[in-house]
Amino acid sequence: MDKLIESSIIKGLLFSAFDKFGPQPIYMFPDSVDEDQLKKAHSDDEEENNLGITLRDYTQIAIKNITLLLGDGNILHQDHNVLKKYKHFGIMPFPDFGLTSLSYFHFIDAEFSEIPLASAFCILIDEKKRSFLYNNINRLKNIITDFFSEFDNRITKELLPQELVAGDFKKLLEKIINIEQTPSTPITTQRKMKIILSGLDNSGKTSFIISVDRKFSKLIGLKPTRGADVSSIEALGTTIFLWDLGGQRSYQEGYLNKSQIYLFEADLLFYFIDIRDKERFNESIEYLKKIRTALKNLEQKTPIIYIFSKGDPDIINSVEIQSNIKNIKKKLTNLSSNGSPEIYVTTVFEIFSILRGFSSGIAKLSPNRNLIEYNLSEFSSLTGSSLVLLLSSDGLVLAEHFTPEAMEITKMQKSEELLNVFEVVAPQFTTLFKIFYKFKTSEKEEAIFRVSDSVILLKRVKIVNYELYILFLINNESKKDIINQNLQDFLNRTQDLLLRYIS
């Protein structure tokens, strides 16, 4: 086992649990090293390449993992069946050890304990190689959940000694190493993200990129580098490459024939449809089909987000445009096999509409998003907030949570078709964003705004070097106190996940 680890970028595997002594490392690979031995090795200057994890290190990592899972312990009061459904992944930093982990949190039926056993399993990796975790997240998730669906049964009676389970973990490690040897993307020091913008010519792709570019170059003072059709922005601590694929018919075939180059390793694809151009809806759907086939041939599960462009404020509510939207939505729904397609209506006249579509794309690239939103949902039910948005200083929505009450407050009609928070607050979204920007420039830590019957509370919070903003929609200003009381706990549980949001 130790030999395998030495040959791999994986620095260790750790299974920890909350047993009767609290958060404990249970199974550790490689074996922990003795602290004295480690000191000696360092002074001899030998074996420098052997990281050496002490029992104390493992314990610290276990505590951080289990604490993230349990928070203030409220989760344990939930129904056991609810707990057993709790299965979340998160990528977390351990800067003290130069490590990053992919952690899997879940509860295990344990006959020796009254409540299901809270557990965290983590794959520890050199933090400089962490792009491996992001780029192979789906493959890693699958083998880990498969592993535990069997392994959990082995430890329901008692936590077997490490010797008896080493073989199980060795097999798991071999599977992880197999991914390392056949990575879907070369392992680099920095994650590079590739976002494709596609759609017919004249569908608004270039205008969209220009709007996004402008926002980012202005906000973080970096000039975006512009290649022929590839531009890049710096966001959330990493570089995101935007590939604008011109959609003229003469090009279309070319892209598809050379799909290996253009679509290969795409993390995300925005597909643009000009909602004014009804005449070309069928043509657009045909092009989309070709792209989807090309992705399938590459065996890529690149998520697709649909941008309905040119929904300008003066025409968006017209009968014609509404019927166009309905019509094209239907075509897309018929096409998609799994669930409703994710759609955003945008217009260059409201930068917010573009940012919200773009945000949702970025969110798709975050392995931590689900867990952050789970924490957000707990926080919001505890505090009675009907809508909570977590915003980066660039105005990207990093996480969101809303309840049906948000619709009442924002006076939206309830509808089956609501897809996400942005549709809930669509008419109010511009207002929310304007409030956000006003607050951002105010330097205040906290502010309250009233919009018709609702109250918007904005908070500025700092996570390591990053400023983040949280926007709450509440029906009553008095909820501010309970929000402030619980904010720190929420941040403690969430900050590491935010630090490793996409890279």
Strands 230-235 and 238-244: antiparallel
Closest separation between CB of residue 142 and Mg ion, Å?
37
* The only residue of 52, 204, 361, 367 in contact with ligand GDP, by rule CB under 6 A: 204
Strands (E), 310-411: 342-345, 387-392, 397-402
Contact present, 90 and 497 (Cβ < 8 Å):
yes
* Edge-to-edge strand ranges of the sheet holding 387-392: 397-402, 387-392, 466-474, 454-463, 446-451
In 3-state terms the chain splits into helix, strand, coil percentages (rounded to 5) of: 45, 25, 30
Judged by CB under 6 A, which stretch of 9-17, 27-35, 195-203, 406-414 contacts ligand GDP?
195-203
203 makes contact, choosing from ligand GDP, Mg ion, none, with CB < 5 to 8 Å by partner type, with ligand GDP
Closest separation between CB of residue 366 and ligand GDP, Å?
27
Distance in angstroms (rounded) separating the CA atoms of residues 287 and 309: 17
Tokens read off for 36: 């004295």
Q: Please identify, using beta-carbon distances, which residue of 230 and 335 lies nearer to Mg ion.
A: 230
In the three-class reduction of DSSP (H, G, I as helix; E, B as strand; rest coil), residue 73 is classed as: coil
* The only residue of 24, 184, 202, 217 in contact with ligand GDP, by rule CB under 6 A: 202
* The only residue of 119, 136, 203, 454 in contact with ligand GDP, by rule CB under 6 A: 203
Q: b/e map of 52-86 (b: 16 or more CB within 10 Å)?
A: bbbeebbbbbbbbbbbbbbbeeebeebeeeebeee
Contact present, 354 and 197 (Cβ < 8 Å):
no
Q: Please identify, using beta-carbon distances, which residue of 152 and 274 lies nearer to ligand GDP.
A: 274
Which residues sit opposite 107 in a β-bridge? Answer: 118
* The only residue of 194, 205, 215, 493 in contact with ligand GDP, by rule CB under 6 A: 205
* Residue 206 found at the interface with Mg ion (CB under 5 A): yes
* Residue 201 found at the interface with ligand GDP (CB under 6 A): yes
Contact present, 140 and 179 (Cβ < 8 Å):
yes
- The 257-286 site mask, x for binding ligand GDP (CB under 6 A), equals ---------------x--------------
Closest separation between CB of residue 481 and ligand GDP, Å?
42
Distance in angstroms (rounded) separating the CA atoms of residues 355 and 432: 13
Number of shown-chain residues binding Mg ion (CB under 5 A) = 2
Closest separation between CB of residue 213 and ligand GDP, Å?
12
Q: Please identify, using beta-carbon distances, which residue of 24 and 206 lies nearer to Mg ion.
A: 206
∠ CA 187-138-238, nearest 5°, is 50
- The 309-348 site mask, x for binding ligand GDP (CB under 6 A), equals xx-x----------------------------------xx
Distance in angstroms (rounded) separating the CA atoms of residues 448 and 451: 10
Judged by CB under 6 A, which stretch of 99-107, 198-206, 258-266, 447-455 contacts ligand GDP?
198-206
- The 222-251 site mask, x for binding ligand GDP (CB under 6 A), equals -------------------------x----
Residues found near Mg ion in the complex (CB under 5 A): 205-206
Residues found near ligand GDP in the complex (CB under 6 A): 199, 201-207, 247, 272, 309-310, 312, 347-348
